[in-house]
Amino acid sequence: MPELSLQQALNLALQHACEDDDRVLVFGQDVGTLGGVFRVTDGLKAKFGDRVFDTPLAESAIMGTAVGLAMHGWRPVPEIQFDGFSYPALDQIVNQVARMHYRSRGVLNMPITLRLPSFGGIRAPEHHGESLEALFAHVPGLKVVSPSTPSEGYHLLRQAIADPDPVIFMEPKPRYWQREFFDPSEPVPPVPPGTSRVVRAGKHATLVAWGAMVARCLQVAELAAEDGVELEVVDLRWLKPIDVDGLAASVAKTRRAVVVHEAPLTAGLGAEVSALVTERCFGDLRAPVQRVTGFDVPYPSGALEDEYLPSADRILTAVQTTLEYRRG
């Protein structure tokens, strides 16, 4: 069983997708000859020739090209080099990619998988550490997913490329070098979109996270266990559609919930998760849902990154708050 990094697992998923379906095309700035900034597409051009190609630095053109290709029966897998670079492409993503199937009354499909290196944690300059999941999840017609481990990255990317609907695939940049033993050739039962997973069982409170924050929450669970507190960690995985039943099952058991994400607090996806949990589990909750997030400021420079991202101490404080809460 090989040990693969997330970067290697995503590369293998793209390779296998290209092998299995001649309609799959991989393109974006520097994805061909260079193999991508994070080398996720390394070696693919040598194997698949013109099906893997470089584009100009023009994000709106990248997504406009994807729309045209999808309309003609291809399965485009474009990459926008960093999350913060996707803003110029929002017109195409929101008004074309997300709406074309609806606008054409089902005649045209948009089987586009936008690969988007996302989130912070690599001390990069401005526009290289955004968290745009709430923006994309708000748009009808888009699916949004973020893996947290190499095996999840492989299987979720294969699933996203095979999906007939457009998928925003948000790759947690600081986890590209995380390694895991798993066998990509081993059959895995298909997981429907909108399915979360419990990565650590517990009974005192539920931590809900996605992307790189799953590993942070597992670290917090280990620290809490030293004091006898058993935290359940849920990897949301699909940020749209959200696994409401899975969330409700976990929170009904623990009766407390803390949502953790890197994006700013106001109107972040944690607000949607909190509302869903409250609607489904109001009678079970023993405390209000807590949120631990980034701050309502632009993403800071690398020197201040650790102050911005949810830390173990901040998450533990939220856990303590929810455990100590008493109804009046």
Which residues carry out catalysis?
128
Q: CA angle at residue 68 from 19 to 27, to 5 degrees?
A: 45
Place of tokens 């995985």: 237
CA gap 257, 196 in Å, rounded: 15
| Closest to 163 measured CA to CA, from 143, 148, 146 | 143
Crossing angle of the two packed helices 269-281 and 244-254, in degrees rounded to 10: 60
CA distances from 267 to 2, 98, 263 (A): 41, 21, 9
120: left (phi over 0), alpha (psi -120 to 50) or beta: beta
Q: Are the CB atoms for 70 and 112 separated by under 8 Å? A: yes
CA gap 325, 44 in Å, rounded: 53
| Residue 167 token pair | 């998928």
Amino acid at 85: F
Amino acid at 182: F
Q: Strands 167-172 and 179-181: what pairing? A: unpaired
Cα torsion at 235, 238, 244, 246 (round to 10°)? -40
